[in-house]
Structure 1
Amino acid sequence: MTRRLLSAGFLFISSAAAAGGFQNGPQSARLLGLGGAATAYSRDASAIFYNPGILGHLDSLTHLSIGGMGTVRATSFLGADSRRETRQDLSVVPGGYLYLTHPISDRVKVGLSVNTPFSYNTKWPDAWEGRSVVRSASLQTVYVQPTAAFKVNDNFSLGAGFIYASGQLKQERSLGQYDDQRATARFEGRGNGIGYSLGMYGRTGEDLAFGISFRAPVTLKMNSGTATYQNIPALDAALYPASSKFTSQVELPSALAVGLADHMTERLLVTFDFTLTGWGRYDSLNFDTQTGPRVRSKRGYEDAMAFRVGGEYEVSKDLLVRAGVSYDESPVRDEFITPELPDGNRLGGSLGASLRLNRVMLDLGYSLDVVGQRTARVNRTQFQAPSIAGTYRTLVHTLAIGASYSFGSKN
Structure 2
Amino acid sequence: MKKIIVVAGLLLTMGFHASAEGYQVNLQSTKQAGMAHVGAALKLGAESMHFNPAGLSFMKENISLSAGASAVFTDLEYSKDGYKHNSDNPIGTPFYLYAGFKIYDNLAAGVSVNTPYGSSIDWGVNWAGSRLVQDITLKSFSIQPTISYRPFEKLSLGAGLMFMYGNFSLSRVLIPAGDLESLRPFAAAVPSLGQTLDNFKDIDAASATLSGDAGVKVGFNIGAMYDITDKITVGVSYRSKVKMRVPEGHAEMNYANETELKQMIATVNPLLIAYKKNPIVIPPLDKGTFSAELPLPSNLNVAVSYQATDRLLLSGEVQFVGWSAYKALNVQFSQEVLNGYSINAPKNYENTRIYRLGGQFAATERLDLRLGAYLDESPVPGEFLNPETPSMNKMGLSTGLSFRPLERLSVDLAFTYVTGFGRDGSYPYVSNDQVKAFGGHYDVKALNPSFGISYAF
TM-score by length of 1: 0.89
Compared CA separation, residues 387 and 339, structure 1 to 2 (3 A): farther
Q: How does 1:178-189 map to 2 (within 5 A)?
A: 179=180, 180=200, 181-189=204-212
Structure 1 residue aligned with 2:423: 374
The aligned residue for residue 240 of structure 1 is: 284
Letter in 2 for 1:405: Y
Asked if 1:298 is matched to 2:346, the reply is: yes
In the alignment, which residue of structure 2 is the partner of 1:219?
Answer: 243
Which residue of structure 2 aligns with residue 396 of structure 1?
Answer: 446
1:232-287: per-residue Cα shift (whole Å, max 9, x none)?
A: 74666773243421101111000111101101111000011011100011123333
Contact 2:384 2:427 in 1 (8 A): no
- Name the count of aligned residue pairs: 386
Q: Which residue of 2 aligns with 1:156?
A: 155
Distance in 2, matches of 1:272 and 1:25, equals 16
- Give the alignment of 1:193-342 within 5 angstroms: 193-231=217-255, 233=262, 239-291=283-335, 292=338, 293-342=341-390
Contact 2:250–2:286 under 8 Å retained in 1: no
* SS of structure 2 residue aligned to 1:56: helix
Distance 2:394 2:168 in 1: 24
Instruction: Looking at secondary structure, tell me which structure has more strand per residue.
Output: 1
| Structure 2: unaligned runs, 5 residues or longer | 1-19, 181-199, 267-279
Deviation at 1:76, TM superposition (A): 0.6
- Comparing 231-240 with 122-131, which one deviates more in the overlay? 231-240
Question: Which structure would you say has the larger Rg?
Answer: 2
In structure 1, C-alpha distance between the alignment counterparts of 2:389 and 2:436, rounded to whole Å? 13
Higher mean C-alpha deviation, range 293-302 or range 249-258: 293-302
SS of the equivalent of 1:45 reads: helix
CA 1:23–1:238: 2 relative to 1, 3 Å: closer
State the SS of the aligned residue for 2:306.
Answer: strand
Counterpart in the other structure of 2:183: none
Contact 1:260 1:273 in 2 (8 A): yes
Deviation of 1:294 (Å): 2.5
Any conservation in 2 of the 1:255–1:277 contact (CA below 8 Å)?
yes
User: Which residue of 2 is the match for residue 76 of structure 1?
Assistant: 77
Conserved? CA contact 2:428–2:438, under 8 Å: no
d(CA) in 1 for partners of 2:285, 2:122: 25
Equivalent position of 1:117 in the other structure: 116
RMSD, aligned α-carbons: 2.1
Structure 2-normalised TM-score? 0.80
Letter in 1 for 2:218: I
Q: Which string of whole-angstrom CA distances, capped at 9 and with x for unpartnered residues, describes residues 53-100 of structure 1?
A: 1112111420000011121211110025xx310000132111100011
Q: By how many angstroms is 1:29 displaced?
A: 0.4
SS of equivalent to 2:128 = coil
CA contact (8 A) 1:228 1:244 kept: no
1:135-186 Cα offsets, whole Å, 9 max, x none, are 0011111111100010111100100000000111110001136535130111
> Aligned partner of 1:228: which letter?
E
Determine the structure 2 residue equivalent to 1:15: none
Letter in 1 for 2:375: Y
Comparing 37-46 and 308-317, the one that deviates more = 37-46
8 Å contact 1:338–1:386 — kept in the other structure? Answer: no
Q: AA paired with 2:286?
A: A
Identity %: 26
Comparing 161-170 with 283-292, greater Cα deviation is found at 283-292
Hey, which bits of structure 1, 4+ residues long, moved more than 4 A? 234-238
| Residue segments in structure 1 that go unaligned for 5+ positions in a row | 1-18
